[in-house]
Amino acid sequence: MIAEGSGPPDYARLAGWDRDWEVFSDYDLPTYVGPTTFGSLPWVTDPDEIRRLGVDVAVVGAPFDDGTSHRPGARFGPRAIREAQSASGSLNSLQLDVEPFEVLTVVDAGDANIVPSWTQRGHALIHRAVRDIAATGAIPIILGGDHSITWPSASAIAEVRHPRSIGIVHFDAHADTGPDLWGVLASHGTPMRRLIESGAVAGRNFVQVGLRGYWPPVDVFDWMRAQGMRWHLMREIEERGAEAVIDDAIAEALDGADAVYLSIDIDVIDPGMAPGTGTPEPGGMLTREVLRAIRRIVGAVDLAGMDVVEVSPPFDHAEVTAAAANRCVLEAISALAVKKRAGARIRFEPR
């Protein structure tokens, strides 16, 4: 007890709290403590600062789902993907034997300036955010958001990289090449057609992996064939194995393009493993197959950018879908770290 009149009570001393405790940096704290950034990485939103730091990879959120045709909620995807990571500090990839954040300079560049119910503005601000990051030389990795965000994101990177060309390797249950959805041109079922029609990406440089189910109709496949697009249905993965299909996809992606943009719709994974998505399609890839594919592709191509889309937290039991999306990003970052450690150039130097 403290006697009356002896000054303020020293409860810290009484409880043993007045020791010289070690204080950890935000980067080394558990991921549930402090501000929510991807991997507890520095939050750097100013493109000039990203350029000054020589950032290799910048993670940016696109919290937009106004292009959704079925189950909404992907606007909450970027936050959920950031929060899904349980480990912090200097991570060690057991798959690739690399500490990616010790090799690469990676930051969280915040979110595009999105407001609800304004599709054209949302896409414009996503385009602007991705373009500003790509122009610094950093590789943008975009957290969606519904799949319509690939239209402004890939367009921004194609713009920065012009006159060099980009191809797309697109993992998805659905082709997303519809002419429109009920008359709407800018939906999550149409971004790949918009990219080809605009000239941002040539159809012959599109490779799609994991398509299955009952969409799109035959006339859409006829259009895809006319553009020279290439695709690998889920039944091909079942018959030949994921390894053989991914090897073909890598060769096709490198046929005529200078760099590759990787787009991962989380519904390419079977909904039993990733239920929290807008348009679940039974019979998909295993999570480990997708993660291995990302490592193999990023290790083999010049990665221009990447997105992970369609994570809808309201449908994500136990956060397993967000965890899969988070790991997709980490696998790509780790594969880039292996390349940089071996002496490869990672950053893009705009002309």
> Which residues partner with 231 through β-bridges?
208
What are the extents of the domains in the chain? 29-341
Share of the chain above pLDDT 70, in %: 98
**Alpha-carbon gap, residue 144 to 247, rounded angstroms:** 27
Residue 350 confidence (pLDDT) above 80: no
Q: How confident is the model at residue 55 (pLDDT cuts 50, 70, 90)?
A: very high
What mean pLDDT do residues 99-104 have? 98
pLDDT at 153: 96
Q: How confident is the model at residue 2 (pLDDT cuts 50, 70, 90)?
A: low
254 within 8 A of 164, measured Cβ to Cβ: no
Got the DSSP string for 156-222?
HHHHHHTTS-EEEEEE-SS----S-BTTBSSSTTSHHHHHHHHTSS-GGGEEEEEE-SS-S-HHHHH
182 within 8 A of 102, measured Cβ to Cβ: no
Which of 267-276, 291-300, 342-351 is predicted least confidently? 342-351
What mean pLDDT do residues 197-215 have? 96
Which residue did the predictor score with more confidence, 194 or 5?
194
**Alpha-carbon gap, residue 337 to 324, rounded angstroms:** 20
How many C-beta atoms lie closer than 10 Å to residue 82's C-beta? Answer: 25
**Alpha-carbon gap, residue 270 to 290, rounded angstroms:** 11
Between the alpha carbon of residue 166 and those of residues 92, 116, 156, the distances in Å are 31, 30, 11
Q: What is the tens place of the pLDDT at every residue in 224-252?
A: 999 999 999 999 999 999 999 999 999 99
Which residue did the predictor score with more confidence, 19 or 233?
233
Residue 5 confidence (pLDDT) above 70: no
pLDDT at 211: 98
Q: What is the tens place of the pLDDT at every residue in 133-153?
A: 999 999 999 999 999 999 999
Helix (H) or strand (E) holding 142: strand 139-144
> Which residues partner with 260 through β-bridges?
167, 303
**Alpha-carbon gap, residue 72 to 58, rounded angstroms:** 26
What mean pLDDT do residues 32-60 have? 94
User: Mean pLDDT of all residues in the chain?
Assistant: 94
| Domain 29-341 CATH superfamily | Ureohydrolase domain (3.40.800.10)
Those residues whose C-beta lies under 8 Å from the C-beta of residue 13, and which sit 6 or more positions away, are none
pLDDT at 3: 56
**Alpha-carbon gap, residue 329 to 308, rounded angstroms:** 8
